Structure 1
């Protein structure tokens, strides 16, 4: 709210008194807490938002088009603000098409790290001209802001920014995923923060050190 008021002052010349600003902050905080509490109760029933299984699931085959799944992993170090991000793109047969890794600096929170990772993954799909992508990420706030905007008013700005980027990916979907079903992408991301592998890359096929894990996920996948 302080940031919004600052922008309104800088670009529109609008001035807000302290009492109004504080009251609005308190109201937004109250609504945010209510939404988070409500989301915990119905999270398991959100078929559009989350995949609650412990097994990676291949994207469903569609009659007229091929759908692919992009799993996004995020690893964030609080002390340094270092972010490791990784994504793995697979088809309906569980075959790894591409995988990638990148490091970011200066993220003040896990939410900011997740935002950077999701935006980067979308940009990657755009640059590789990949269509009909289901993105999976461990970020309930971001997924909620995209799929249920009215239920996540405190994250509206995130949702608007992400939707603008996602609109450039034809046939996009975003779902919440648990760590057990997102292990490959997470391990790629963690190689940045734990093993200090800062070099970014994009490569075809499975990463050699994750072949066994990804092959095992593929054999257990649910089509």
Structure 2
């Protein structure tokens, strides 16, 4: 998942779904009302990707993000009160999916 650059009053969200062989299966991209920070944009992108993957009814996913702060917030290693609602919603979806991992993947 990669949040886009903020332009004007919009933020861009995007993610890529790859199979075990690394082939691109599905891509999502959309503009949303401008968010206040990069980590909020990252969190919204993860929530959208998790929601989409939950609908696939599969049980094995690895979510990768270049935001170490987001991975730390999801694992409880750091606190971002501004993200509490988004993180709780995302964590609930991830638990319903099944075997899920969220990993930091540096650029």
- TM-score relative to the length of structure 2: 0.82
Q: 2:44 aligns with which of 113, 116, 119?
A: 116
* Rounded Cα–Cα distance in structure 2 between residues aligned with 1:145 and 1:162: 11
Displacement after TM superposition at 1:143 (Å): 0.4
The Cα RMSD (Å) is 1.9
The answer to whether structure 1 residue 140 and structure 2 residue 65 are counterparts is no
Structure 1 141/161 Cα, relative in aligned 2: closer, same or farther at 3 Å?
Answer: farther
Query: Does the 8 A contact of 1:141 with 1:155 survive in 2?
Result: no
Who wins on radius of gyration, i.e. which is larger?
1
Whether the 8 Å contact between 2:54 and 2:93 is mirrored in structure 1 is no
More helix by share: 1
Matches within 5 A, 1:72-91: 72-77=1-6, 80-91=8-19
**1:43-93 superposed Cα distances (whole Å, 9 cap, x missing partner):** xxxxxxxxxxxxxxxxxxxxxxxxxxxxx111131x624221221111221
Cα deviation, 1:89-125, whole Å, max 9, x if unaligned, reads 1122122221221111121111111111110000010
Contact 2:16 2:28 (8 Å CA) reproduced:
yes
Q: Which runs of 5+ in 2 are unaligned?
A: none
Specify the alignment match of 1:51 in structure 2. Answer: none
Alpha-carbon offset, residue 171 of structure 1: 0.7
Question: Alignment length, in residue pairs?
Answer: 104
Structure 1 runs of 4+ with >4 Å offset:
none
TM-score of the superposition, structure 1-length normalised? 0.43
Cα deviation, 1:131-160, whole Å, max 9, x if unaligned, reads 20000012122101222x1x31x2362543
Once the two structures are TM-superposed, the CA of residue 164 in structure 1 deviates from its matched residue by 1.6
- Give the distance between the partners of 2:39 and 2:69, measured in 1 at CA: 8
**Which residue does the alignment assign to 1:195?**
none
Match of 1:155 in 2: 80
Equivalent in the alignment of 1:165: 93
